[in-house]
């Protein structure tokens, strides 16, 4: 017998002896471990459920208690959950028969697993209100023990295969840093910047990993530097350095964009606030105190405007401020004017004003003014009227009846909107988004219309404020998504490249809506691949965590995501690297007249460079002239949207 065979026999014998012993020890250790885990699992669940039920037990809220028990029991990890009152009377009982599939009975008898009872108290304040008992389901544990045992058995008889696999494992360990480098490169493509902390022991691989880490840090720094430069440029061009508000230029650009977009701006109010005696206050108290007064006025305006979505403030110069609140009527504008007037007194009470007559407020309502100058002039005229009435006075010119008041007067908005949702009585128009270079249609954006009482189509700017006030945004978004998906199933929808649907921020941040949306998309993968969901930048930045979660879930279904009205506010752009969006729509305030504005061109160019580094395509909103189109083409914008590109029309 050759030495080779002898070594093979000896090694095989030792191998078998070691693995036979390992097999029995491992099976027993696994059994003991699983028994301990079942006990710990039951006790932890009972303790957690007891603590969770206590507040509801104090309120005798049996419905919520039942829901919480069902939520835990439905996981299938428990064979019994019982909630009893202080007298031992069962309140909620859930039992599940123990089913152990694909595990032989003899194995169960040889390896018994105990399922001890976990117990916990339910408290009502400081008093004992009942108890909770939980018993884990041993089925999964038996299955795990059985399959682990089978695995060990085949490991024993597959010594030759294991030996070959061992070489593979060793090689894999040696080359593991290369796999980590691959993961790191993939993460960079996902706009993440991980740094490998653990260095490989191989010198060549260590140098490679260190070089990769330096590159990751450099790429991250480049992105942050670009974002800071863009923010600095925007602040210099559009922000007041003292208050942090937009300046007059920013106000005029935003107003012009609103006037050019009746789809989103059917009405609203412009408030002009002027503080009295600001120069005298500066001379008496110094410029630092004057700046503090301006910041106090800024806080006052921001607090009041912050209760209205899409509102924005600006400092016009000196002690003059502006507040724009879209989509409100005369009654609401008057209420805000009164609130501003009452708040002015606080500046005097805090020794931040020369006299009790702190300032005045003039209010102009948007009634289809054809220019920003006219809108500002009407607000200025109202301000002069308020100043003639005395200190802290406000004035609002009574407007002619608007489209909103006609609708509201003809029909109760709550009844009207609920009927629209229940009867699915909506009209959908589609506005094309075209490629900036080839003019081919990239996708269509859905625009929602409702039929009013006089058979007039109401734009979103008219009815969406009431949808928001009545809390019907989720129902309306569900209706639009469902209707679009149904229409996309039609034969005539086959040639449509994609459709973009706007979601209200409240819907985007709602976990239940996200679950419903993903369920609908999962059931229709072909349609999901043709859908793009849009949320405004303002709405997205209110809760970035929930938006990230929604984007990740939606992307898994094949649908895409877009950020709308980008740049309207003064949010930091650093968050872009953490959002896996596919498109970014630059707000129309930067697009209007971009062919004549170097600052707007620089801003859009910077946005494009940052977006391209993040694999995000940039689309320009509100393109109205051929000159704007040409300039955007030179800036390498991906897509265009606006009335010059294509007007909304019925499509499906």
Strand partners for 117: 135
* Of residues 612 and 155, more confidently modeled: 612
Confidence of residue 331 (pLDDT cuts 50, 70, 90): confident
168 pLDDT above the threshold of 60: no
63 pLDDT above the threshold of 60: yes
Reference 181, options 150, 158, 204; nearest CA is 204
Note the pLDDT of residue 530. Answer: 95
Q: Are residues 334 and 375 in the same domain?
A: yes
Q: Pairing between strand 560-566 and 531-536?
A: parallel
CATH number at residue 420: 3.20.20.450
Q: Are residues 135 and 74 in the same domain?
A: yes
475 pLDDT above the threshold of 60: yes
* Of residues 517 and 88, more confidently modeled: 517
Strand partners for 90: 84
- In angstroms, the CA 542 to CA 575 distance is 12
Mean pLDDT throughout 344-366? 78
Mean pLDDT throughout 418-446? 92
CATH number at residue 75: 3.30.450
Q: Are residues 357 and 268 in the same domain?
A: yes
**Does 373 reside within a domain?**
yes
Query: Mean pLDDT over all residues of the chain?
Result: 83
487 pLDDT above the threshold of 50: yes
Confidence of residue 324 (pLDDT cuts 50, 70, 90): very high
Q: Which two tokens stand for residue 614?
A: 């993040």
**Does 650 reside within a domain?**
no
φ and ψ at 117, to 5 degrees?
A: -90, 130
- Show which of 368, 400, 432 is a domain's final residue: 400
Query: Which contacts qualify for 106-115: CB closer than 8 Å, 24 or more apart?
Result: 107/142, 107/146, 107/149, 108/142, 111/27, 111/31, 111/142, 111/145, 113/31, 113/34, 113/35, 113/38, 113/138, 113/141, 113/142, 113/145, 114/35, 114/38, 114/39, 115/38, 115/42, 115/79
Q: Which two tokens stand for residue 629?
A: 């189109």
Domain residues for the domain of 490 are 404-640
478 pLDDT above the threshold of 60: yes
Note the pLDDT of residue 404. Answer: 47
* Of residues 304 and 109, more confidently modeled: 304
Confidence of residue 165 (pLDDT cuts 50, 70, 90): low
Q: Are residues 9 and 99 in the same domain?
A: yes
Q: Are residues 17 and 113 in the same domain?
A: yes
Mean pLDDT throughout 627-644? 94
Q: What confidence tens digit (pLDDT) does each residue in 568-610 have?
A: 877 777 788 888 899 999 999 899 899 999 989 988 998 998 8
Note the pLDDT of residue 210. Answer: 84
* Of residues 589 and 284, more confidently modeled: 589
**Does 175 reside within a domain?**
no
Q: Are residues 222 and 293 in the same domain?
A: no
Q: Are residues 223 and 320 in the same domain?
A: no
Note the pLDDT of residue 3. Answer: 34
- Show which of 370, 400, 430 is a domain's final residue: 400
106 pLDDT above the threshold of 60: yes
Q: Are residues 388 and 373 in the same domain?
A: yes
The tally of domains found in the chain comes to: 4
Q: Are residues 507 and 433 in the same domain?
A: yes
402 pLDDT above the threshold of 50: no
**Does 176 reside within a domain?**
no
**Does 218 reside within a domain?**
yes
Q: What confidence tens digit (pLDDT) does each residue in 509-518 have?
A: 999 999 999 9
Q: Are residues 533 and 422 in the same domain?
A: yes
Reference 575, options 585, 563, 587, 565; nearest CA is 563
**Does 187 reside within a domain?**
no
* Of residues 625 and 180, more confidently modeled: 625
- Show which of 214, 237, 260 is a domain's final residue: 237
- In angstroms, the CA 272 to CA 314 distance is 10
Q: What confidence tens digit (pLDDT) does each residue in 235-272 have?
A: 788 889 899 899 999 999 889 888 887 777 778 899 99
Q: Which two tokens stand for residue 188?
A: 């960079």
Q: Are residues 429 and 522 in the same domain?
A: yes
């Amino acid at each position: 017998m050759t030495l080779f065979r002898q070594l093979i026999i000896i090694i095989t014998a030792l191998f078998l002896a070691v693995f036979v012993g390992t097999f029995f020890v491992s099976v027993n250790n696994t059994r003991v471990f699983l028994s301990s885990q079942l006990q710990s699992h039951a006790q932890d669940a009972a303790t957690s459920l007891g603590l969770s039920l206590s507040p509801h037990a104090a309120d005798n809220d049996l419905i919520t208690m039942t829901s919480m028990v069902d939520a835990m029991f439905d996981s299938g990890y428990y064979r019994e959950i019982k909630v009893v009152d202080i007298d031992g009377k069962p309140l909620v009982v859930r039992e599940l028969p123990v089913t152990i599939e694909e595990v032989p009975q003899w194995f169960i008898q040889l390896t018994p697993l105990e399922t001890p009872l976990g117990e916990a108290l339910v408290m009502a304040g400081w008093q004992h209100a009942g108890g909770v008992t939980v018993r884990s389901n041993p089925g999964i544990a038996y299955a795990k023990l059985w399959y682990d045992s089978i695995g060990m058995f085949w490991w024993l008889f597959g010594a030759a295969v294991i030996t070959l696999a061992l070489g593979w494992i060793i090689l894999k360990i040696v080359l593991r840093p290369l796999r980590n480098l691959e993961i790191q490169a993939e993460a960079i493509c996902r706009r993440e910047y991980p740094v490998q902390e653990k260095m490989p022991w191989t010198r060549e691989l260590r140098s490679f990993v260190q070089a990769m880490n330096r590159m990751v840090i450099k790429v991250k720094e480049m992105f942050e530097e670009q974002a800071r430069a863009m923010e600095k440029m925007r602040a210099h061009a559009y922000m007041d350095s003292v208050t942090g508000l937009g300046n007059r230029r920013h106000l005029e650009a935003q107003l012009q964009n609103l006037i050019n977009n009746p789809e989103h701006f059917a009405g609203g109010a412009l408030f002009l606030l002027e503080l009295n005696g600001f120069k005298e206050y500066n001379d008496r108290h110094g410029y630092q105190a004057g700046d503090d007064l301006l910041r106090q006025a800024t806080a006052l305006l921001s607090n009041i405007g912050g209760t209205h979505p899409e509102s924005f403030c600006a400092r016009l110069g000196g002690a003059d401020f502006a507040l724009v609140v879209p989509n409100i009527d005369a009654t609401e504008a008057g209420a805000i004017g009164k609130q501003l007037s009452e708040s002015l007194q606080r500046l005097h009470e805090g020794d931040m004003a020369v006299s009790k007559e702190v300032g005045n407020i003039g209010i102009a309502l948007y009634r289809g003014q054809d220019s920003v100058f006219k809108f500002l002039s009407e607000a200025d005229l109202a301000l002069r009227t308020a100043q003639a009435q005395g200190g802290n006075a406000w004035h609002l010119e009574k407007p002619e009846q608007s489209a909103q008041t006609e609708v509201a007067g003809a029909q109760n908005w709550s009844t009207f909107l609920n009927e629209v949702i229940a009867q699915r009585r909506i009209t959908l128009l589609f506005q094309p988004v075209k490629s900036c270079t080839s003019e081919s249609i990239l996708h269509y954006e859905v625009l929602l219309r409702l039929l009013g009482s006089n058979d007039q189509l109401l734009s979103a700017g008219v009815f969406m404020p009431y949808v928001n006030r009545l809390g019907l945004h989720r129902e309306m978004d569900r209706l639009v998504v469902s209707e679009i998906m149904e229409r996309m199933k039609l034969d005539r929808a086959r040639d449509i490249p994609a459709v973009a649907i706007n979601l209200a921020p409240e819907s985007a941040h709602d976990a239940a809506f996200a679950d419903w949306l993903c369920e609908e998309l999962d059931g229709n993968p072909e349609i999901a691949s043709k859908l793009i969901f849009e949320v405004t930048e303002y709405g997205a930045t209110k809760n970035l965590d929930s938006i990230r979660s929604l984007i990740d879930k939606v992307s898994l279904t094949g649908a895409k995501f877009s950020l709308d009205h980008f740049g309207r506010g003064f949010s930091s752009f650093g968050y872009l690297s953490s959002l896996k969006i596919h498109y970014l729509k630059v707000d129309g305030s930067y697009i209007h007249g971009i062919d004549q504005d170097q600052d707007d061109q620089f801003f859009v160019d910077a946005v494009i460079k940052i977006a391209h580094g993040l694999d995000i395509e940039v689309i320009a909103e509100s393109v109205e002239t051929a000159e704007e189109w040409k300039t955007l083409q030179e800036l390498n914008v991906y897509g265009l949207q606006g009335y010059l590109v294509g007007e909304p029309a019925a499509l499906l």
